[in-house]
Amino acid sequence: MRTITLAWIACALMGIAIPCLAQDADGDSLADAVEAVLGTDPRFAESLVDVGQFAATRTERPELDVVGVRMANVARDRWLWAIRFAQPYTFDNSSLILYVDTDNDPGTGRKDMGCEFMLAHNAGAPGVTAFAPDGTGVSSTAPRVAIGDGVLYICFDCSIKQAGGQSLLRYTVLSEVREPHQSADSTGWVEARGPGNSDREKVVLLGDITQDEDFLVTEGLDLIWQLQADPDNVVISPVGSPTMK
């Protein structure tokens, strides 16, 4: 039976910085608590591939200075980015946008940038802007965002161009100060060869559930009375309930 922990659901919706706890079932240096937020599998060790290194240049707020980007395939069309900074990252007065050109074609997607997705957080709250090949805006689900051991992780489901067992894409990272709003660092566009796609099954997230599970509807007063009379059952009446007022 699938178990969903409400605490981690709330974290995933908000974008939460979670300290790296001792519990790391697969030994990949990603705490199980962080994996629960990101939608990665705590039973499968993520293999992050280096797709960019950058010199540290900031003396003020070095925790917003991007120095490295790694990437992993989590499951079929589910991708994980790990963004490292000169000092441990924080959501405090910060925002960030990861622009991803998933078809490695500057002529498609957002008109002035050629990206299909802008994966973002604003003080930890995740957001996304997505584009069709002709540049028009389209709807998309938000990424999952978390901090583990000072590294910013962004996990997102999308299709990325494949060739020779690798992912071919372009990306750029924009790190910002929220107030007063200003750029902190930018990697510039990077053409990358990342890990290839896989056929691993995705961890099922709350937003993936489209029907009831382990839930039955009963009809008939005789059956209802029997259920009420059973001391092992808990009866919750809507009558007088504060949620029903």
pLDDT tens per residue across span 88-121: 999 999 999 999 999 999 999 999 999 999 999 9
**Higher-scoring residue by pLDDT: 9, 106:** 106
**Is residue 233 in some structural domain?**
no
pLDDT tens digits for range 30-78? 999 999 999 999 999 999 999 999 999 999 999 999 999 999 999 999 9
24 is a domain residue? yes
pLDDT tens, position by position, 186-210: 999 999 999 999 999 999 876 665 5
Q: Does residue 220 belong to any structural domain of this protein?
A: no
Quick check: 112 and 86 in contact, CB under 8 A?
no
**Residue 190 sits in which domain range?**
6-208
**What is the average pLDDT value for the chain, to the nearest integer?**
87
Residue range 120-149: average pLDDT? 97
pLDDT band at 211 (very low <50, low <70, confident <90, very high): low
Number of domains in the chain: 1
In this structure, is residue 237 part of a structural domain?
Answer: no
Task: Say which residue the tokens 């919750």 belong to.
Answer: 236
> Is 106 among the domain residues?
yes
Is position 139 within any domain?
yes
Percentage of residues in the chain having pLDDT higher than 70: 82
Domain-embedded: residue 60: yes
Tens of pLDDT, residue by residue over 24-37, are 887 888 999 999 99
| Residue 212 reports pLDDT greater than 70 | no
The C-alpha atoms of residue 175 and residue 183 are separated, in whole angstroms, by 6
Q: What is the pTM of this model?
A: 0.78
Q: Determine the average pLDDT of the residues in 159-179.
A: 98
- Residue % of the chain over a pLDDT of 90: 70
pLDDT of residue 208: 60
Residue 48 inside a domain? The answer is yes
User: CA-CA distance, 152 to 126, in Å (whole number)?
Assistant: 12
